[in-house]
Structure 1
Amino acid sequence: MTLAQNTPKQNSTVQNSENPPDKEAVKTWIKEQALALGFSDCGFLSVSHPVFAKEIKRLQAWLDKGYGDCLPFLKENHHLRANPALLVEGAKTIISVRMDYLCDKPAPRCVEDDARPNHAIIARYARGRDYHKTMRQKLKQLAKLIEAKLPEWQHLTDGAPFVFRPFSDSAPIFEKAAAHHAGLGWEGKHTLLIHRQAGSFFNLGELFVSLDLAAPNEDNPAKNLCGSCSACIDVCPTRAIVGARTLNAAACIAYLTIEHDGSIPTEYRKGIGNRIFGCDDCQLICPWNKFAKITQVADYAPRHSLDDISLLQVWAWSEDEFLQKSEGSPLRRTGYLNLLRNTAIALGNAPFSKDIITALQGRIGQNPMLDEHIDWALNEQRQKQLKIDCQMICDE
C-alpha cells in the first residue's frame, strides 16, 4: 500500500493586491494549505466562543455522576477549558482540523475483529506513528505558511506579533465541541465526532493563532444526524456507553487497555475479547463509516505488522522488543507490563489451545499483577478444554 505524500499548493486563492483580502478569502487560503498538508478538513472558531462555558456545565454534570472518576485530569483546569484564550496569550482564533487515519476500509457495519480471535487487535489509529507528533508537526507547518502571508494580512493582526501554538489531545481543550461548532462534524452517541461524508475514523487537532478570523458569536455547527440509531450503544462489549453521548470511562476498553494501571476488573475481561490496545467496535458498527476515507498521511501506515499480528507473537515480546516496536508509537503509552496484562486477558478469551496454555505458564512468576491475569486466562482456557472433552464424550 502506498500513501500519498501531499505538499502545500503553490497557487493561492489570496493574491497580492492593493486591497487586503477579507476574512473569508484568508480562511479559504488557509483551508487550501491545510488540505494540501494532509488534513481532511479545517474550520475556524473564536477563542471566546460561548460553547466552551456551556461545555463546562456538561462536563461537571458528567463528573458528578462518577463517570470520570478514573480520569482525574478532567477535574482540573476548568478555568482553561471554559476560556481557551488563557491557554495562549494573544490568540484570537482556533483553527480546528481533522485528519483521517484509516489505511484500509473495514467492511461496513461489521466488527470483523471478532472473526480473528487469535489476533491481537490494536485500535486503527495506533498502528503507525503517534498521531500527536504527526498532528503537531503538520500544524506547525501550517502556522509557518500563515506566517509567511502576514505582510498581506496586517489588518487581521492589529499590528501585534504573530502568535501560534498547536495542540492535539495535549491541553485542557474541548476539542470535539470546537470541531463541532467549526463545522467539522457532530458528536455521535459514542461521544466521537462524526462527519456525514467521512465517518469518524479521524483525529482532531487545533492551531491557536493571533489572527482575528472568527467573531465570538460566529457559529457553524454540524447537524446531528444520528437519529434513532443506537448501534454504537448496543455493540459496546463492556456496556460503557450508558446513554447517548454519555460514556462510563471506567468501563471503556480504550481506557482499560491504555490508561488503566494495575488489575483490570474481572467483570470487563471477557468483554475485552482480543483487543489489547483500544477498541474500534462503536465506530466499526456505525452506518456513517461507510463513508470513511483512506488517509493521505503516510505516518498512519502500520509498523511492525501491528495490523496483522497474533496474540502469541505479542506475548513473546521481551521488554527490549516492546521498546523497539513501540518507539514513536502510541503503544508506548500503556507500557510493557500492562500490554502483557492486556494480552493475557486476550489469550484467555481466545479459543482453546495447548500452545496458549504453555505460553501463559511460561511467564508465571514475573510479576504478581501479571500472574493474577495469567491465572484468570489459564482458568478460561481450561474451562474451554473441559467443554471440548465433555462434548467428545457425549459424541461417543
Structure 2
Amino acid sequence: MASLAAQIKEWGQALGFQQVGITDTDLSKAETHLDNWLANNFHGSMDYMQRHGHKRSRPALLHPGTSRVISVRMDYLPEPDSAMNQALENPFSAYVSRYALGRDYHKLMRTRLQKLADRIHGQIGPFGYRAFVDSAPVLEKALAEKAGLGWIGKHSNLINRKAGSWFFLGEIFTDLPLPVDKSATEHCGACRACLDVCPTQAIVAPYQVDARRCVSYLTIELHGPIPEPLRPLIGNRIYGCDDCQIICPWNRFAKLTSEKDFNPRHRLNTQELLDVFAWSEQEFLTRTEGSAIRRIGHERWLRNIAVALGNAPKSEVIVEALKTRLLHPSELVQEHVKWALDRQFGGI
C-alpha cells in the first residue's frame, strides 16, 4: 500500500494535479464546526448544506466502504494580482472571480480524477471508489487539510505555504487501506488582512464566514433580490469575489496556472459593465458556454450588473443603458435596475 500511495501521487502530478494527499475519514472536528455554522444560519438559502445530514462530514455515509480519501489540488490563477487590482479599482470594469474566467473546472478535474482511478485499476484491478469535484456533500477543505494539502485560513479557504490559495480541490473516496499523510499545520498567526479587506465584512470572526453577507453568495448562490444595504458594498463585482485571496500574504507564493483551459475566455477578465449588460440571453449563453458562470443564468447576470452600474460614478450613458432594461420581463431585474437608476440620479 505504501508503494501504491507513492505511485498514486506520481500519477496525479503527471495528470496535472500540483499535489496529492491521502487521509482517513475522521472529520469529527470539522463536523462540529459545520453544525455550529448551520446553527447560526450562516448558510443562508443554501439548504443543500444541511439537507444531507452528516453525509458531508462522514464520507462512509456518502459512499459506503470508504476508509480513505485521496485529495488533490489544481492551480488555476490566470493572471497576477496587479491585473486583478486594476480591474477592481476601475468602477466601470466588470469584475468576475478569477476561478470562473476559463473552462468550468468541474468537468476538467473530474476527467483527470477518473484517469487517476483508471491508473489505479490498471495496477491493482477492481477496487471501490467514487470521484468528487464540488458536486456532492463533501467537506473538501477539511479533507484536504487532513491530507496535508494546506490549512483552512481565517477566510475559510485552504492555504498552502508554497502555493497560496488559488487552486481547486477534488477527491477520490476509496476502500483501499492506503497509508495516510500528516495533516497540515496552521500558519495564519495574528494576521487579519482577509477580515479587514472583506467588502461586506462577511468574515464575522476568524474562521467564521456568514455567507449571507458574502459577495460570492450574493452574486452566485442567492436566487432572489440582493439585500439593499449590501448592494453599495458589492462595488463592481458581478460574479464572485477574490478580495480575501488577493490580500493574503501567502499568495505571494502562488504560481500562474499552466492549464490553458483556465485562461480567460471572451475577454472576461477585461470586460466593461456596459458591454456585458448589453448581452442578450443568447449572447450570454454563447459566451459562457463551458463556464461556471452559466449556472446563474441571464436573469441573475443582469441583476448583478445592474447593482454594479448603480455603484458606478454618475453617467448619462449608464442611465440610458439601465433604461433599456426597465421593461425586462423579470421583476427581479426590473427592481435592481430601478435601484441602480435611483443611485445614478442621486449621484451617490
Deviations 1:88-135 (A, max 9, x none): 233332110011001212139x84433221111110000111111111
CA distance in structure 2 between the aligned counterparts of 1:177 and 1:55, rounded to whole angstroms? 6
Find the structure with the greater CA-based Rg: 1
- In the alignment, which of 132, 136, 140 is matched to residue 171 of structure 1? 136
Aligned to 1:339: 301
Q: CA deviation at 1:143?
A: 0.8
Counterparts of 1:132 and 1:381, CA distance in 2:
39
1:356 to 302, 318, 327: 318
Q: Contact conserved, 1:56 with 1:78, CA < 8 A, in 2? A: no
1:28 corresponds in structure 2 to 6
SS of match in other structure, 1:113: helix
Paired with 1:342 and 1:359, the residues of 2 have a C-alpha distance of 14
Specify the alignment match of 2:331 in structure 1: 368
2:295 and 2:39 map into 1 onto residues whose CA distance is: 28
Unaligned regions of 5+ residues in structure 1, if any? 1-22, 152-160, 388-396
Q: Letter of the aligned partner of 1:355 in structure 2?
A: V
Q: Are 2:147 and 2:182, in contact at CA under 8 Å, matched by a contact in 1?
A: yes
Contact kept in structure 1, 2:73 and 2:167, CA below 8 Å: yes
Deviations 1:12-67 (A, max 9, x none): xxxxxxxxxxx332222111111111111110012xx32x2232221111121221
Query: Of the candidates 102, 105, 120, which is equivalent to residue 131 of structure 1?
Result: 105
**Contact 2:130–2:173 at 8 Å: present in 1 too?**
yes
Matched, 1:44 2:22: yes
Query: TM-score with structure 1 length normalisation?
Result: 0.84
Cα offset, 1:219, TM superposition: 5.3
In structure 2, the residue corresponding to 1:149 is in which secondary structure? helix
- What is the aligned partner in structure 2 of residue 149 from structure 1? 123
User: How far did residue 83 of structure 1 move?
Assistant: 2.1
8 Å CA contact retained: 1:188, 1:245: yes
* Cα deviation digits, residues 176-208 of structure 1 (max 9, x gap): 110001000000000000000100011110012
Amino acid at match of 2:4: V
SS of corresponding position for 1:334: helix
Preserved contact between residue 21 and residue 181 of structure 2 (Cα < 8 Å):
no
Secondary structure in 1 matching 2:72: strand
Q: Which of 114, 117, 124 is the aligned partner of 1:140?
A: 114
How many angstroms apart in 2 are the aligned matches of 1:324 and 1:87? Answer: 35
Give 1:92's aligned residue: 67
The whole-number CA distance in structure 2 between the counterparts of 1:129 and 1:274 is 22
The separation in 1 between residues aligned to 2:98 and 2:195, in whole angstroms, is 20
Distance between the aligned counterparts of 1:78 and 1:336, measured in 2? 32
SS of the aligned residue for 2:318 comes to helix
- Give the residue type in structure 2 aligned to 1:116: N
Cα 1:275–1:360, aligned 2, differ >3 Å: closer, same or farther? same
Q: Using the alignment, how far apart are the partners of 2:7 and 2:166 within structure 1?
A: 25
Q: What is the match of residue 209 of structure 1?
A: 174
Q: In 2, Cα distance between the equivalents of 1:119 and 1:69?
A: 28
Q: 350-359 vs 277-286, which deviates more?
A: 350-359
TM-score, scaled relative to structure 2: 0.96
Kept in 2: contact 1:111–1:285 (CA 8 A): no
User: What's 2:218 paired with?
Assistant: 256
Q: Alignment partner for residue 105 of structure 1, among 75, 80, 99?
A: 80
- Once residues 338 and 283 of structure 1 are traced to their aligned partners in structure 2, the CA distance between those partners, rounded to angstroms, is 24
Out of 304, 324, 333, the position equivalent to 2:266 is 304
State the AA in 2 paired with 1:321.
E
Aligned to 1:6: none
Q: Which runs of 5+ in 2 are unaligned?
A: none
SS at match of 1:190: coil
Give the 3-state SS of the residue equivalent to 1:226 in structure 2. Answer: coil
Matched, 1:193 2:158: yes
Task: Tell me the distance in 2 between the aligned counterparts of 1:105 and 1:111.
Answer: 9
Paired residues, number: 347
**Which of residues 65, 83, 88 in structure 1 aligns to 2:58?**
83
Whether the 8 Å CA contact 2:55–2:62 is kept in 1: the answer is yes
1:381 aligns with 2:344: yes
**1:329 & 1:231 partners in 2: Cα distance?**
30
Q: Distance in 2 between matches of 1:81 and 1:356?
A: 45
- 1:72 aligns with 47
SS state at 2:168 partner: strand
Whole-Å Cα distance in 2 between the matches of residues 350 and 25 of structure 1?
A: 58
Match of 1:318 in 2: 280
Alignment of 1:226-265 (within 5 A): 226-265=188-227
Percent sequence identity over matched residues? 48
Whether the 8 Å contact between 2:20 and 2:70 is mirrored in structure 1 is yes
| Distance in 2 between residues matched to 1:348 and 1:360, nearest whole Å | 9
Cα distance, 1:354 vs structure 2: 1.3
User: Match of 1:329?
Assistant: 291
Q: Distance in 2 between matches of 1:37 and 1:320?
A: 35
- RMSD of the TM alignment (CA)? 1.6
Q: Secondary structure of the residue that 2:204 maps to in structure 1?
A: strand
Q: Secondary structure at the match of 1:107?
A: helix
Per-residue CA deviations over 1:281-326 (Å, capped at 9, x if unaligned) read 0000111111111112222111111111111111010011111111
Pick aligned residue for 1:117 from 91, 106, 125: 91
Q: How does 1:283-302 map to 2 (within 5 A)?
A: 283-302=245-264
